[in-house]
């Protein structure tokens, strides 16, 4: 077990965030290790306990713009709407863990989340066959999810119409005048098998024909956030993140 842990600690920095980039920082790591060991005479640093972190020496804190901004976008709108119960389908668990501190949240995922946290209920579910009645959910979110459906990446069945079917199911369970908070990659339409699909923002509007658009925000190709903008402003992106606040008609 100790050998397995050691191998994991040493292989990870050479594979993440970019393969082999850790090699460039290895000389600095050894130089710091020897310098620290010499200064910390009373601290024994065992070889088996080494865990190199080689790529964190940056001038700014790195982050994924899509996930950072979509979580902030969702939380602000759910809180502003004074919603008492919210249902999320498959979004980032870190976003949901924080959201559940402010509103009772039911989290549904194809791969059940095994946690115990006040304000959060986690259940297994399939976005193509949700266990909710028609017109039953007042507030629902699905962030960076439907673009994956039907590609088999998460063990789900292959289906070229996966995103379209997921969109239909989300609209089915939303209540009349209920809110749907959706995000997904927007830009040049394509299938990046088996990672995700990318849709034009105009196509997304057509997929959600049972709803009206309340507000649209997006992250552009450079990672900049644009809040409450016309959908047309995001046409022509290569790989952005569209955030759509819909309301069911």
**Of residues 185 and 40, which shows the higher confidence score?**
185
Residue 28's pLDDT is what?
92
Percent of the chain with pLDDT over 70: 94
Task: Show contacts of 231-234: CB within 8 Å, 24+ apart.
Answer: 231/201, 231/202, 231/205, 234/186, 234/201
45 CB-near residues (< 8 Å, 6+ apart): 33, 36, 37
**Of residues 76 and 6, which shows the higher confidence score?**
76
- CA-angle at 200, arms to 248 and 240, nearest 5°: 100
Residue 52's pLDDT is what?
85
Task: Show contacts of 90-94: CB within 8 Å, 24+ apart.
Answer: 90/127, 90/142, 90/145, 91/141, 91/142, 91/143, 91/144, 91/145, 92/67, 92/143, 92/144
Count CB neighbours of 93 within 10 A. 14
Structural domains of the chain, with CATH: 2-49 (no CATH), 65-248 (3.40.50.150)
Question: Quick one: which of 145, 149, 111 has its CA closest to 243?
Answer: 145
Residue 53's pLDDT is what?
83
Out of 15-29, 202-216, 221-235, least confident range: 15-29
pLDDT of residue 51 exceeding 90, the answer is: no
Q: What is the per-residue pLDDT across 155-173, written as a single tens digit (0 to 9) for each?
A: 999 999 999 999 999 999 9
Instruction: Label the pairing between strands 190-192 and 174-186.
Output: unpaired
Task: Give the 3-state secondary structure of residue 89.
Answer: strand
Enter the tokens of residue 81.
């709407």
Burial class (CB in 10 A: 0-12, 13-18, 19+), 21: middle
**Of residues 43 and 188, which shows the higher confidence score?**
188
Residue 42's pLDDT is what?
83
Using CA atoms, how far apart are residues 211 and 234, in angstroms rounded to an integer?
Answer: 20
Q: Are 86 and 104 in contact (CB under 8 A)?
A: yes
Q: Average pLDDT over the chain, rounded to whole?
A: 93
As a whole number, mean pLDDT of residues 172-201 equals 97
Backbone angles phi, psi at 18, to 5 degrees: -135, 135
Residue 13's pLDDT is what?
66
How confident is residue 16, by pLDDT bands cut at 50, 70 and 90? low
pLDDT of residue 11 exceeding 80, the answer is: no
């Amino acid at each position: 077990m100790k050998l397995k842990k050691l191998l994991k600690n040493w292989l990870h920095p050479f594979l993440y965030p970019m393969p082999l980039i850790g090699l460039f920082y290895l000389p600095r790591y050894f130089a710091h290790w020897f310098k620290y060991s010499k200064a910390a005479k009373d601290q024994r640093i065992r070889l088996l306990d080494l865990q190199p972190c080689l790529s964190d020496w940056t001038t700014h804190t790195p982050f994924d713009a899509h996930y950072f901004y979509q979580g902030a976008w969702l939380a602000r709108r759910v809180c502003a709407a004074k919603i008492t119960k919210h249902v999320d389908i498959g979004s980032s668990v870190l976003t949901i863990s924080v959201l559940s501190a402010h509103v009772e949240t039911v989290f549904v995922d194809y791969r059940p989340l095994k946690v115990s946290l006040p304000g959060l209920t986690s259940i297994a579910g399939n976005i193509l066959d949700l266990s909710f009645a028609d017109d039953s959910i007042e507030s629902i979110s699905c962030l960076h999810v439907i673009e994956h459906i039907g590609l088999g990446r998460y063990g789900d069945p292959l289906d070229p119409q996966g995103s379209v079917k997921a969109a239909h199911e989300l609209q089915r369970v939303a209540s009349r005048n209920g809110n749907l908070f959706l995000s997904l990659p927007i830009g040049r339409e394509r299938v990046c098998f088996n990672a995700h699909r990318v849709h034009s923002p105009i196509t997304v509007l057509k997929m959600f024909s049972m709803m009206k658009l309340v507000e649209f925000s997006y992250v552009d190709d450079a990672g900049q956030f644009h809040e409450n903008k016309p959908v047309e402003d995001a046409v022509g992106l290569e790989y952005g993140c569209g955030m759509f606040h819909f309301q069911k008609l």
